[in-house]
Amino acid sequence: MEVESLQEKLKVLSNRYAIRILQVLSPKEGGVVHSLGWDDLAEGILQLQGYPRPDTSYEEKTKAQVQYEKKRARITSGGTLYETMGKLVDEGLVLEEGERRKKNRAFRITREGRLALSALQAMEGSLGATTTLQETAEKLLKHKNFLGLLPGQREFLEEVEELPGNMIIQMGPGAGKTFLAIILLLSRIRKGAKCVYLAPYTSLLRQIIDEYGVLFKQMGIDVVRLDGTTRPSSQQLDDANLVIAIYESFLSAIMANQLWTKDLDLAVIDELTELDGGQRTLRARYLGNDRSTRLDCLIAILRNQANLVTLSARFGGTQKSAKWIEAAVFHPDRVVRPEEFIASRDGEFLSIESSDSSQQWNVKCEDNIEGILEYAEEYKEESILIVVGSRERTERIATRLANGYPREIQSEIVDMIVGKDKKMPIAQRLKEVLAKGIAFHHAGLASDIRWRLERSIKEREVRTIVSTTGITAGMSFPIDVIIIVFDKSTFYIASRPQYLQIAGRIGEYHLVEDGGVVYLVHEEPTKELEDQESLRWKLLLTPLEQIEPSEMYPSLMLGLIAMSAMNLLEFTKQDIRHEFLSLVKRTLKYFLNEDYLDTMEQRFD
C-alpha cells in the first residue's frame, strides 16, 4: 500500500477498536481468511487485551466468568464497536456479509485491510500490545521516534511475556539490548519496585541519561547516577526508583552495607563478558586491576536479593553461566556479521585477503592504512574507525590523514566538540585535525570532549576517527569500515571475544541497513599473533571459550570479609569464615572450579 493511501485511512484506523478488529480478522501468515461474527470479534478483542475466555464447564458461574462477561459487555454496548466496523467497511478494509443492522452479520478482512495493518505495524512497531512489556515497548518507541522494533527486539517481545526470574540476553552490539533493558526496568518500577542498572563504563551511564532522561522525568521516575564523577547523598539513593551505577561504585556501596542496596527488585548488568578475566591465576601485576573478579563477587551477592538480567554479545559457555545463576537465555535466531579481511605487508604491496581466502588483492602503497583507504575507493562516502594501541599513534595517524585525506566538517561542530578546553595543548591538537574532518580519541582527552566527540560520531558529523580501544567499550556507532592495526602495542587483543568487542562497534542495525567491513592489519608479530594465519585462526575462526573470572585479590577479599562481619551482630572468626566461604561458593569461579574454595580457605586461614 502506498504511504499516501495509508495516510488517507489513518483517521479511520484511529477509531477505537479499529486496529483490534483488523488484528482479530487477520489470519496468521499462510492461514485462511475466515468470516467472523460479532461474538467472535468481541472474544478476539478480549483475547488481545489479555483476557482469554474462561472455562464454562462449571454448573454455576465462576467469578472469572462474571468478570469476563462484564468486560465483554463494555465492548459490545454503546455502539462504538458497530460504528467503527461501519467505517472500516466503508473504507474497504473489511468486507461485510449479510444485511446491515442484522446481528447475524459476518465480516472478513480484505486485502486492503491486511496491507493497511501490515504497513501500520511496520511504521509504528509493536501494535496490539497484550503484555505489560509490549505496552512499555510502544511507549518507548514513541519517545524515541522509532518507526519500529529491530528484529531481535520484536522476537524478544513475542517470546517473553514477563520476566521469568533471571535472564541472560545475548544480542550483538547495536541490536537493541539497552532498549529491552529499559522496558524490563520500567515494567518493574511502575509496580513500585526499586531497580539498579550496572555497567562497566561511564559512557554507558551517560547514554542512558541522554536517551531516556526526559522520559524518566515525564513518568515521575527518580533516577540517581552513581560513579566516580557523582556524589549522591544517602537520602537521594534511598529515594531513587532507579540507580544507574558503575560496577565498582555499586560494589563499594554493598560492601559498606548501605541500606538502599538491601531492597532491590531487579538488577540489570550490562556487558556480562567482563566476567572473563583472562588471568586464571593471581598475578602481582594485575592486583586490584582485574574487573572480572569484582563482577563475579557482585553477582554472587546480588543473586540472593534480586532478579538478575544480564546483557552481552554471545560468549562461550553460555549454558554453564545460565545454570550458575539459574537463568533463562534469550538470543535471536538471526546473527549479522560484517565482512572481514586480513591485510599484511608483502614487500612494496599490501596484500588484502578475505577471511575465507576466497578473495585477494594487492595494493601498491607505502603506508598500510593509506593502502586500505585507496582500496576502498569510495571512502569519502563512508564512516571509518581506525583502532591502534597507543595514544601517540592515534594523534600521529590523525595528523597524517588530515593532511592527505581531509574531509568536510562544519566549523560550528569543531568548536562545539572542543568547547571550553580549547586552550589545553591536547585540545588544540584535536582542533587542528578536526578542522580537516579527522578526529583522534583516547583517554588523554577530557571526558566532556570525548562525550561530545562520540555524539558527533553517532550523528555522522565526524566521519574518520583514529582511536585506542577505549572507544570500543560499550557504545555502537554508524561505522562503515573498521581498520584494526595489530602490532606490539595491541598485544592485549589476542582472543576472539576481544576482537568481537571492537568489531561490534558497527552496530547490528547499521549492519542490516548498510553493511560493514573490518580490516585486520597485521604489522608486527606478537607472542599470541605471530603472523596473519595465527591472527585468522585465533580471532576469526576459533570457537568462543568459556568465560571465567580471575582469582580474588587480597584487598577485595579483605573488603568482603569486613562486609561479612558487618552482616553479623555477634560473631566469631568461624562465623565470618563461614559467611565469606558461602559467598565464594556463589561465584562463577567456584562453579567452574571447585578447587577455588580450597584456595580461598587457605588464604583466609
pLDDT of residue 279: 57
Question: pLDDT band at 144, cuts 50/70/90?
Answer: low
Q: Which residues of 541-563 are buried (b: 16+ CB within 10 A; e: fewer)?
A: eeebeebbbbbbbeebbebbbeb
- 459 backbone dihedrals φ, ψ, rounded to 5°: -85, 0
- 142: its cell numbers: 514513541
Question: Per-residue pLDDT tens for 163-189?
Answer: 888 999 998 777 788 889 999 999 999
Share of the chain above pLDDT 90, in %: 28
pLDDT above 50 for 225: yes
Q: Of the spans 145-149, 355-359, 441-445, 555-559, which averages the highest pLDDT?
A: 441-445
- 225: its cell numbers: 547516577
- Under 8 Å CB-to-CB from 126, ≥6 apart: which residues? 134, 137, 138, 141, 148, 149, 154, 157
Q: Of the spans 8-12, 283-287, 371-375, 410-414, which averages the highest pLDDT?
A: 410-414
Question: pLDDT band at 555, cuts 50/70/90?
Answer: confident
Rg (CA), the chain: 28
pLDDT of residue 502: 79
pLDDT above 70 for 381: yes
Distance CA 478, CA 481 (A): 10
- At 420, the amino acid letter reads K
pLDDT above 90 for 473: no
DSSP 8-state code for residue 539: I
pLDDT of residue 2: 46
DSSP strands (E only) in 271-383? 307-312, 327-330, 339-346, 349-354, 360-364
Question: pLDDT band at 508, cuts 50/70/90?
Answer: low
Provide mean pLDDT across the span 514-532.
83
Span of 51-55, 90-94, 108-112, 371-375 with lowest mean pLDDT = 51-55
pLDDT above 60 for 119: yes
Comparing 300 with 375, which gets the higher pLDDT? 300
- 530: its cell numbers: 605471530
Span of 109-123, 166-180, 381-395 with lowest mean pLDDT = 109-123
Distance CA 565, CA 476 (A): 42
Distance CA 321, CA 299 (A): 12
Size (the chain), residues? 605
Residue ranges of domains in the chain: 3-124, 132-330, 339-541, 554-604
Q: Which residues of 425-441 are buried (b: 16+ CB within 10 A; e: fewer)?
A: ebbebbeebbebbbbbb
Question: pLDDT band at 77, cuts 50/70/90?
Answer: low
Q: What is the CB neighbour count within 10 angstroms for residue 268?
A: 27
* CATH level 3 topology of 339-541: Rossmann fold (3.40.50)
CATH 2.60.40.10 is the classification of domain 132-330: no
Q: Helix 177-189 and helix 132-144: axis angle, to 10°?
A: 120
In contact, 117 and 44? CB cutoff 8 Å: no
pLDDT above 70 for 146: no
In CATH, what is the architecture of 3-124?
Answer: Orthogonal Bundle (1.10)
What is the H or E stretch that residue 22 is in? helix 18-25
Provide mean pLDDT across the span 16-35.
75
Provide mean pLDDT across the span 303-325.
90
Tell me whether domains 132-330 and 339-541 share a fold. Answer: yes
In contact, 466 and 439? CB cutoff 8 Å: yes
In contact, 171 and 508? CB cutoff 8 Å: yes
Please state, rounded to an integer, the average pLDDT across all residues of the chain.
Answer: 82
- Under 8 Å CB-to-CB from 550, ≥6 apart: which residues? 277, 278, 279, 280, 281, 282, 286, 290, 292, 293, 589
Provide mean pLDDT across the span 133-141.
82
pLDDT above 50 for 125: no
Q: How far is CA 155 from CA 159, 184, 271, 331, 498, in A?
A: 6, 15, 21, 9, 27
pLDDT of residue 163: 85
Question: Per-residue pLDDT tens for 394-453?
Answer: 999 999 999 999 999 999 999 999 988 777 899 999 999 999 999 999 989 988 899 899
In contact, 68 and 46? CB cutoff 8 Å: yes
DSSP strands (E only) in 430-583? 438-441, 464-467, 481-486, 517-522
pLDDT above 70 for 377: no
The pairs formed by 363-370 with CB atoms below 8 angstroms and a separation of 24 or more are 367/400, 368/343, 368/485, 368/521, 368/523, 369/397, 369/401, 369/483, 369/485, 369/521, 370/404, 370/405
pLDDT of residue 438: 95
Question: pLDDT band at 4, cuts 50/70/90?
Answer: very low
pLDDT of residue 378: 65
Question: pLDDT band at 31, cuts 50/70/90?
Answer: low
